[in-house]
Structure 1
Amino acid sequence: MLRRRPYSVGEIAANFRTSRPAISKHLRLLRAVGLVATTERGTARICTLNAEPLRAVSEWVGDYEAYWSKNLRSLKRYVEEGR
């Protein structure tokens, strides 16, 4: 959701069938791990996505994906040639 644009906590909560306190709890967790940043705009808290940590995870997963794809292709060839 935040990928498209910043949203207030109220706007985020309106998109889910969950209580606003539950949404706030999730947002606090996302802020704690650096995935969401909030700013005050009047009485509203505006949330924005910080995608940088996700890019790091994506790169890490990509390395393992390449490793396992190569090894599984080698295993497949080995099994097929052994028949």
Structure 2
Amino acid sequence: MGLFRLLFWIAIIAAAVWLWRRINRPRPAHRDSPAADKPMVRCAQCGVHLPREHALNRGERWYCSQAHLEQGPTDGER
């Protein structure tokens, strides 16, 4: 019976220490990714999404590269 009591109290103390450390653990600083703040656009040729600052535009359409800008929109986009 004495061994059972000893193991019981060790388990209770270990659980209390674990809970105390979990509650008092410093929170990691939450950083938003820089891409999350940037507006995204869709390429009219291939459909890939990219930040607007890296896209090329012609009129109201956006493109991911110079080659796609020269090719123009896909048939469904005209």
TM-score, normalised with respect to structure 2: 0.30
Larger Rg: 2
Identify which of structures 1 and 2 has the higher relative contact order when contacts are C-alpha pairs closer than 8 Å and 6+ apart. 1
More helix by share: 1
TM-score, normalised with respect to structure 1: 0.29
